[in-house]
A = this chain, B = another copy of it.
Amino acid sequence: MRDTGSRLSIREYLQLIGVRDLPPLTSPFDPGYDPVTVESHLEQSAHLMASLKISMACWQIANEAATRRKIAAARSHGVPAVTGGGPFEVAVAQGQLEAYLDLCANLGITRIECGEGFTELALKPREVVKLAHERGLVVQYEMGKKHEGPFTEDSLEEAVARGHSWLDAGAVQLVVEARESAKGVGTFGDDGSLNAAYADRFAEEFGLDIAMFEAPNKPSQFAFLEHFGQRVHLCNVRLEELLRVEIFRRGLHSDAFALPNLRPALPGVEIGR
């Protein structure tokens, strides 16, 4: 048997075949997995995670030790732990925003998501962000409604306006709603097709560093990457789908290898992208 001699690391191999290094650009979410699984995903993929959403209200009814364990695991890998918009909206509706923020800070959460997906918010963005900052919590804001169907021209402009008011108030990123289905919500029509013009509106208004897109399933993940290319920031990707998203992003998936904006460069050939 041949002595292979060269002891390439996988990373060196990827460079050989023209795959570029990318910063973490996906924010996966934990839809209620067990803590050991979450921890082991972090070991495997922390370098690909821009943040980790401890999702929905699941963390509020799990054993508290299990919730703390997940958050601590994220922190120990340097991945910001984010709570979802739902618990924020419920806290506000029940008149307990400050208690909610105290709880998040105490649990070790880095960032909270604010939104008005299924409630109306009477508070001003600036008030909310101030209360969060007092507790060391970073803020992101989710644009869109959960129960009103896809964006219309009007609701799109309203969402954009709200996005600006939250950025002005100190929020650091904006999320475009797609729920768990990516169908009949946000930038997705009732058949799940991406309304590229609507998605572009957010990208042009805020840029791809500020605007993030919820991509909860394979068709929405692939659609955003095909449309925007490697640099789009995706969120609400189920943990077990993260690696598939990332190989698609790098053109290593069989459906992405043919796409000019994702395909790895031919080694030795420099392409303008």
**A161 beta carbon closer than 8 Å to chain B:** no
Copies of this subunit: 3
Known interface pairs A1-B134, A43-B34, A135-B1; A254-B18 also in contact (CB < 8 Å): no
Q: Which bracket fits the contact residues of A?
A: 35 or more
Whether the Cβ atoms of A17 and B91 lie closer than 8 Å is: yes
Nearest-CB residue, chain B, relative to A115: B254
In the complex, what distance in Å separates the CA atom of A17 from the CA atom of B119?
Answer: 15
**A264 beta carbon closer than 8 Å to chain B:** yes
Point out residues on A near B: beta carbons under 8 Å: 1-2, 4-11, 13-14, 16-18, 31-37, 39-41, 43-48, 56-67, 86-87, 89-91, 93-96, 99-100, 102-103, 105-107, 117-119, 134-136, 146, 239-244, 246-247, 250, 252-255, 257-258, 264, 266-267
Whether the Cβ atoms of A45 and B63 lie closer than 8 Å is: yes
In the complex, what distance in Å separates the CA atom of A40 from the CA atom of B243?
Answer: 20
In the complex, what distance in Å separates the CA atom of A66 from the CA atom of B59?
Answer: 26
Contact among B66, B136, B264 with A1 in the assembled complex (CB-CB below 8 Å): B136
Whether the Cβ atoms of B31 and A34 lie closer than 8 Å is: no
Whether the Cβ atoms of B57 and A44 lie closer than 8 Å is: no
